[in-house]
């Protein structure tokens, strides 16, 4: 059952916003390779604010994702392209509708 998630807020430096967008678009390939990631969404809220929401069946899947290639790419980009470290918040899902 899809019951755990992560909500991530990413604030890009204005001059790197397009590169952060590209990084998130490219990360879809990595998310598709993660068997334990049930759903993965990357989104843009404003010119420089981005986010990721993903969900998992269990804590093992969530922790595996946090140690995976997408998180590593974000942390590598953070000092150069982000105005602050990504704000990563674990969430418990109360209700889910997926296709």
* Total domains in the fold of the chain: 1
Contact 4, 90 (CB under 8 A): yes
What CATH number corresponds to the domain at position 73?
A: 3.30.70.100
70-84 confidence digits (pLDDT tens): 999 999 999 999 999
Residue 37 confidence class, pLDDT cut points 50, 70, 90: very high
Contact 97, 43 (CB under 8 A): no
| Domain assignment of residue 97, yes or no | no
Which carries the bigger pLDDT value, residue 85 or residue 1? 85
Q: Show the domain range for 80.
A: 3-89
| Domain assignment of residue 85, yes or no | yes
pLDDT of residue 39: 97
| Domain assignment of residue 99, yes or no | no
Average pLDDT across the chain, whole number: 96
| Domain assignment of residue 98, yes or no | no
| Domain assignment of residue 8, yes or no | yes
């Amino acid at each position: 059952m899809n019951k755990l998630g992560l909500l991530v807020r990413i604030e890009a430096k204005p001059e790197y916003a397009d590169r952060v967008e590209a990084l998130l678009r490219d990360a879809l390939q990595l998310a598709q390779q993660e068997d334990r990631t049930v759903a993965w969404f990357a989104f843009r809220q404003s010119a420089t604010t981005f986010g990721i929401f993903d969900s998992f069946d269990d804590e093992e899947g969530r922790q595996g994702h946090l140690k995976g290639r997408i998180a590593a790419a974000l942390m590598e980009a953070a000092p150069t392209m982000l105005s602050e470290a990504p704000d990563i918040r674990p969430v418990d899902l109360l209700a889910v509708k997926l296709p």
